Structure 1
Amino acid sequence: MKVYLSGEIHSDWREQIISGCQAKNLEITFVSPNTDHESSDAAGDCLGEESNSFWRDHKSAKVNAIRIQNAIKSCDLAIIRFGDKYKQWNAAFDAGYCAALGKPYITLHSEDIVHALKEVDGSAQAWATSPSQIVEILAYTLNP
């Protein structure tokens, strides 16, 4: 199974899921967007220097989209994490892209933002509040 880990980059939720799945010997390949903020912001710098930050961000978003769209198209399942500290518009976009492609996804977020994510959760196959719940869903999915 190939699982795409989308969303928040300021905590260790990805590592918790990966290590939890390894502990259960689940045969899963994990892929992610670039989780290094600085290099993600600089992804389009190879296309030429920009004096306006809007155009730098625009170029980098397009270059990052190549990686993200390919990862979503080729995954079997996406896990989409929404953190509490920042607005993850990119994660919401990834969820919408999954929904448009018919790719199953699970959202991962706390209860206090459930109202803001009601449409995103509405298309998800599950809503989890902890990485350990994600591990249990993956284990159930892979073990008959």
Structure 2
Amino acid sequence: MELTVYLAGQIHDDWRETIKQEAAKRDLPIEFVGPQTVHERSDSIGEDILGEQPGKLFRDDAASSINNFRTQVLLQKSDAVIALFGENYKQWNTAMDASAAIQLRKPLILIRPESLIHPLKELSNQANVTVETYDQAIDVLSYIYE
């Protein structure tokens, strides 16, 4: 049985590759999907499809509509979601994706460091599982196959 897992979280480092590599090491039959990780593409997709916009607000709105469309389709097709909250970046998109997963009743694994226990307490309470490391998240997925 192959699972599709949506990887929600910041796009500024290679944490997704770490998750994918660990899953591959364990021979887990998982397809990973997620947001557009090429920042420039994500920011310009509205104008790339709809043409030049009359200002920054309209440019961001056009890009947001298309990025939200992509996220909604991929979240709905996913069997589970991993949402990473780290300490280095603002996590608005991660919170939005995690909340959408909860609303769609998608099983949610939340990864967050100990320092974010308090600010994420409500979201963590709604997740199926909250862990602190990538390995723990993969352990949870591995358990499905035992």
In the superposition, the TM-score normalised over structure 2's length comes to 0.93
Q: Which residue of structure 2 aligns with residue 94 of structure 1?
A: 97
> What is the CA distance between 1:48 and its match in structure 2?
2.1
Deviations 1:8-28 (A, max 9, x none): 112222111111111111111
Q: Secondary structure, in 3 states, of the residue corresponding to 2:18?
A: helix
Q: Which residue of structure 1 aligns with residue 27 of structure 2?
A: 25
> What is the CA distance between 1:61 and its match in structure 2?
0.6
The answer as to whether partners of 1:16 and 1:132 remain within 8 angstroms in 2 is no
Consecutive unaligned residues of structure 1, counting only runs of 5 or more, are none
Deviations 1:11-52 (A, max 9, x none): 222111111111111111111110111110011012121242
Q: How many residues align?
A: 143
> Which 4+ stretches in 1 moved above 6 angstroms?
none
> What is the CA distance between 1:87 and its match in structure 2?
1.3
Consecutive unaligned residues of structure 2, counting only runs of 5 or more, are none
Deviations 1:47-75 (A, max 9, x none): 12124211111110100111100111010
Q: Which residue of structure 2 aligns with residue 40 of structure 1?
A: 42
> What is the CA distance between 1:126 and its match in structure 2?
1.0
Q: Which residue of structure 2 aligns with residue 135 of structure 1?
A: 138
Calculate percent identity across the aligned residue pairs.
38
Give distance in 1, aligned partners of 2:34 and 2:114.
24
> What is the CA distance between 1:95 and its match in structure 2?
1.0
Equivalent AA in structure 2 for residue 61 of structure 1: S
Supply the RMSD in Å over aligned alpha carbons. Answer: 1.1
Equivalent AA in structure 2 for residue 126 of structure 1: V
In the superposition, the TM-score normalised over structure 1's length comes to 0.94
The answer as to whether partners of 2:10 and 2:93 remain within 8 angstroms in 1 is no
Give distance in 2, aligned partners of 1:61 and 1:117.
24
Equivalent AA in structure 2 for residue 98 of structure 1: A
The answer as to whether partners of 1:78 and 1:105 remain within 8 angstroms in 2 is yes
Give distance in 2, aligned partners of 1:12 and 1:131.
12
